[in-house]
Amino acid sequence: MSAGGPEAEIARIAAKAAHERDTAAAGIHVGQALRRKEDPRLITGRGRYVDDLTLPGTLWAALVRSPEAHARIVSIDSSQATERAGVHGVFTGQDMTNLQAPLPMAWGPPGVEVRNPPHWPLARDKVRYVGDPVAVVIGEDRYRVMDAVEDVLVEYEALPAVVDPEAALEEDAPLVHEELGTNKIHEWPLEGGDVEQGFAEAEVIVERRVVNHRTSGAPIEPRAVLADYRAGSVTVWSSTQIPHYTRLFLALMLGISEEKVRVIAPEVGGGFGAKLQIYGEEILIPWCSRRLGMPVKWVETRSEHMATSHHGRDQIAHVRMGAKRDGTITAWHVRILADMGAYNMFLTPLIPSLGAFVMGGCYAIPNVKTEIVGVFTNKMSTDAIRGAGRPEATHMVEVTLEQLAQELGMDRLELRRKNFIPEDAFPYQSATAVVYDSGDYEKTLARLLEHVDVDAFRREQEQARRQGTLRGLGFSTYTEICGLAPSRVAGPPIVGVQAGFWESAMVRVHNTGAVTVYTGSSPHGQGHETGFAQIAADRLGVDPSVVEVVHGDTGFGPEGRGTYGSRSLAVGGESVAQAANQVAAKAKLIVAHKLEAAPEDIELRDGKFAVRGSPDKGMSLADVAGEAYLGIDLPEGMQPGLEMTNFYEPENFVFPFGAHACMVEVDTETGKVDVVRYVAVDDCGPAINPMLIAGQVHGGIAHAIGQALYERIAYDENGQLVTGTFVDYALPTAAELPSFETDRTETPSPVNSLGVKGVGEAGTIAASAAVTNAVIDALRPLGITYINMPLTPMRVWEAIQEAQNGGAAA
């Protein structure tokens, strides 16, 4: 045993394993398209989502919400509601003054003032958007509590609403928060190089006004909260992506010591960022449970989701791209006006900035500048929705690049190749203050073109046009920044989120050699229970069927940070790998001791920790666990037991990338756009489970096609939400979407031992630009050169009419 004892020895062996990149490549289970361990319960109806859980005596909560976009609350009369049979209480903002803090906003970038007025679970004095909650009714029955909501009489003094973010900055605009004296939240710049110089060198400059409209995350499971306060402790089941943060803020806001708060995210029916939030209801429902001494449950209706679960996007950008005649891009300047809605929620004003760090996309643009202005309006808050700032950035750079190609009369793929960051330039210091970890953009584009014959398409397109049908082909070559994140960058010093971004894992081997993995990430459909089991299984010499992955419960396992920003595998999965490596290292020491061999000579082979060169001398994990728990013959100084906890702090972000192509057909009579073909080549490093990757890519693309063609959160000029249900907010159905053609290249990331990058958001980040470029390509024969999303039949039809009427406004 070397100096430092067994603990140091375990650390040394585990670290060596982490640096042996071939661990993953040589994996037996890693890389396999294993069927999901999650599925048997889900396909048989035995999943347990929050609304499926009811405790004895559970009361129901329903919220009284503002029908006004902006109004003063004059009075609230709940007497009639309270008198209804079965109603246990009606509470307003004035009843909740014992909260210790308002709802959190976690962003404080160094040197930037971010105006952040208090935001309470129930409005006090004023309402600021349609759906702003003013009271909660608690009763015994799901239906009767809704009746009682109708009986709560709220008198409002309506105030003028400000809905348009540009109008919100005008001198005489109504103020969402009067005490601030302005609707402007903040200004945030990021410049690399010198854009003025870059434009001076440019021979061609393209300018556009790019509108990235407001959308909803719209997981099919709405949000839900069940709270059970008993004897000073509270257990809260919430449909959330971040149970540990929910616990923290419950403790801080309710004034309950953190260890007495347990948050459970059971089965979570999709998130897409909409459940990366600390919502008022997650504080309010436990508050009601404490107040009444009974369990209380609230389940969001779909109408409530559309109105009050945070929205995404909603940016108006003025973009300028400058280039030499030969296609060399010299400058890229983006000014974003970001509509934040009525309040800053958990990460609201941060979101556009996430795009700024990859504003240059996969191009070696020396001079890049992003300027962001955030503004309050009388609408629901925006925050992270799948991609969070990066879909907007990719859309801007990829659509503008194709506009530039048109301007230069240059092939758009040639223009891309001309400006790609070359494969040998990685790690690449971008002009946008980050280091891209790895990439090979030529390779993914070349692979894409094996699937897409551009010349053949051009011939078909021409032929179709002669027959009166417009077809278009659009591309998007993207990179993105994910795997959030190195804390020293994403945290307070640089990006300014007031938190760390590590992830944790605990690997526990039981007496029989069965394994439980606790992860701090919190899946909601991604398949962690399968992928993480594959990672641990390979490192411990067991089958994934005996590896149980436990997540989403603050009552067990180490502190965690949750699932968002395509971080779970690159950060949480790496933590599982490292914890498993630590367990394997301890196992090797035990085996070496028992078999009288050197620890360096113990290797994992065919499910056994065996002595190198003596394949018959070895111990299974079950044998090792038996010794570890018996504890009477272990290496000197070694503790009994066989479990390890790891907190993994990544050294960098990861930057997945890819090349997508979209083919559309446009009906000129109706303006309807059909996606005929969609081909995606993505690179997220070596696959842990290729089936899960394909699933993420499919869903991500569908999400962006939805935004590009169908979905839009719309408010009228008075701030009334006009897309408040699935009747008006058009999620794509199976009938609108094609089958997707997907392929992958594998460029490992040097950041983590698995070599992996995130893929949960990549499809969404890539696809809206490919669709939009395809529609523009289709419409070009009509003289239409640019169009903003959403490319609904109405929008496209109007553009066609305008073009046919010689540019007169339709």
Partner 1 sequence: MSTTVPVRLKVNGVKEEIDVQPRLLLVHALRDRLGLTGTHVGCDTSNCGACTVHLDGRAVKSCTVLAVQADGATVTTIEGMGSEDQLHPLQEAFWNDHGLQCGYCTPGMIMAAAGLLAENPNPTEEEVRHALEGNLCRCTGYHNIVRAVLDAAKTKSATVAQQQEVTA
* Residue of 410, 446, 737, 787 interacting with partner 1 (CB under 8 A): 737
417 binds partner 1 (CB under 8 A): no
Q: Diameter of the chain by CA atoms?
A: 90
**Least CB distance from residue 124 to partner 1, whole Å?**
29
**Least CB distance from residue 30 to partner 1, whole Å?**
17
* Residue of 29, 36, 186, 223 interacting with partner 1 (CB under 8 A): 36
Smaller CB separation from partner 1, 39 or 669? 39
Cα dist from 394 to 15, 28, 759, whole Å: 37, 36, 15
DSSP 538: H
Q: Round to whole Å and give the CA distance between 12 and 584.
A: 12
* Residue of 12, 28, 49, 626 interacting with partner 1 (CB under 8 A): 49
Q: Round to whole Å and give the CA distance between 356 and 364.
A: 15
Neighbours of 548 (CB within 10 A): 17
Helices (H) and strands (E) in the chain, counts: 22, 28
**Least CB distance from residue 608 to partner 1, whole Å?**
31
- Tokens for 436, please give them: 């891209």
57 binds partner 1 (CB under 8 A): no
**228 close to 55: Cβ distance less than 8 angstroms:** yes
**740 close to 697: Cβ distance less than 8 angstroms:** yes
Q: Round to whole Å and give the CA distance between 759 and 750.
A: 16
Give the per-residue contact string, 277-316, with partner 1 (x = CB under 8 A; - = no).
Answer: ----------------------x-xxx-------------
56 binds partner 1 (CB under 8 A): no
* Residue of 5, 20, 26, 39 interacting with partner 1 (CB under 8 A): 39
Q: Determine the size of the site formed for partner 1 (CB under 8 A).
A: 60
Give the per-residue contact string, 76-105, with partner 1 (x = CB under 8 A; - = no).
Answer: ---------x--------------------
The DSSP H or E segment spanning 188 is: strand 184-192
Whether the bond into 3 is cis, omega within 30 of 0: no
* Residue of 270, 500, 641, 793 interacting with partner 1 (CB under 8 A): 270
Q: Which neighbouring-strand residues pair with 648?
A: 503
**Least CB distance from residue 745 to partner 1, whole Å?**
20
Q: Round to whole Å and give the CA distance between 178 and 160.
A: 12
Give the per-residue contact string, 520-559, with partner 1 (x = CB under 8 A; - = no).
Answer: ----xxxx--------------------------------
Residue 469 sits at φ, ψ, to 5 deg, of -115, 135
Q: Is 145 left (phi over 0), alpha (psi -120 to 50) or beta?
A: alpha
Three-state SS string over 667-697 comes to CCCCCCEEEEEEEEEEECCCCCCHHHHHHHH
Q: Which region, judged by CB under 8 A, interacts with partner 1, from 127-135, 212-220, 251-259, 772-780? A: 212-220
45 binds partner 1 (CB under 8 A): yes
* Residue of 117, 695, 781, 793 interacting with partner 1 (CB under 8 A): 695
702 binds partner 1 (CB under 8 A): yes
* Residue of 120, 237, 272, 363 interacting with partner 1 (CB under 8 A): 272
**Beta strand 503-509 pairing with 643-648:** antiparallel
* Residue of 44, 75, 257, 467 interacting with partner 1 (CB under 8 A): 44
Q: Which region, judged by CB under 8 A, interacts with partner 1, from 34-42, 407-415, 553-561, 744-752? A: 34-42
Q: Which region, judged by CB under 8 A, interacts with partner 1, from 117-125, 281-289, 443-451, 690-698? A: 690-698
Q: Which region, judged by CB under 8 A, interacts with partner 1, from 96-104, 129-137, 651-659, 693-701? A: 693-701
**Least CB distance from residue 141 to partner 1, whole Å?**
8
Q: Round to whole Å and give the CA distance between 665 and 687.
A: 34
Please provide the DSSP assignment of 102-135 as one string: -----B--TT---------SS--SEE-STT-EEE
Smaller CB separation from partner 1, 144 or 488? 144
Q: Which region, judged by CB under 8 A, interacts with partner 1, from 43-51, 91-99, 587-595, 768-776? A: 43-51
Nearest-10 crossing angle of helices 762-779, 390-408: 30
* Residue of 30, 268, 408, 638 interacting with partner 1 (CB under 8 A): 268
Q: Round to whole Å and give the CA distance between 705 and 662.
A: 10
Q: Which region, judged by CB under 8 A, interacts with partner 1, from 457-465, 576-584, 728-736, 748-756? A: 728-736
* Angle (CA) 97 239 346, round 5°: 55
- Tokens for 588, please give them: 């090797």
Smaller CB separation from partner 1, 208 or 660? 660
Q: Which region, judged by CB under 8 A, interacts with partner 1, from 128-136, 452-460, 555-563, 730-738? A: 730-738
269 binds partner 1 (CB under 8 A): yes
Q: Round to whole Å and give the CA distance between 286 and 305.
A: 20
Q: Which region, judged by CB under 8 A, interacts with partner 1, from 311-319, 354-362, 663-671, 701-709? A: 701-709
For the chain, give percent helix, strand, coil, nearest 5: 35, 25, 40
**Least CB distance from residue 697 to partner 1, whole Å?**
8
137 binds partner 1 (CB under 8 A): no
Smaller CB separation from partner 1, 75 or 739? 739
The DSSP H or E segment spanning 147 is: helix 142-150
Helices (H), 436-483: 441-451, 454-466
The four Cα atoms 62, 68, 70, 72 give a dihedral, to 10 degrees, of -70
Q: Which region, judged by CB under 8 A, interacts with partner 1, from 50-58, 393-401, 619-627, 788-796? A: 50-58
* Residue of 6, 93, 174, 222 interacting with partner 1 (CB under 8 A): 222
790 binds partner 1 (CB under 8 A): no
Q: Round to whole Å and give the CA distance between 667 and 793.
A: 9
Residues in touch with partner 1 (CB under 8 A): 35-36, 38-49, 51-52, 54, 85, 142-144, 147, 218-222, 267-270, 272, 299, 301-303, 524-527, 691-692, 694-695, 698-703, 725-727, 731, 733-735, 737, 739-740
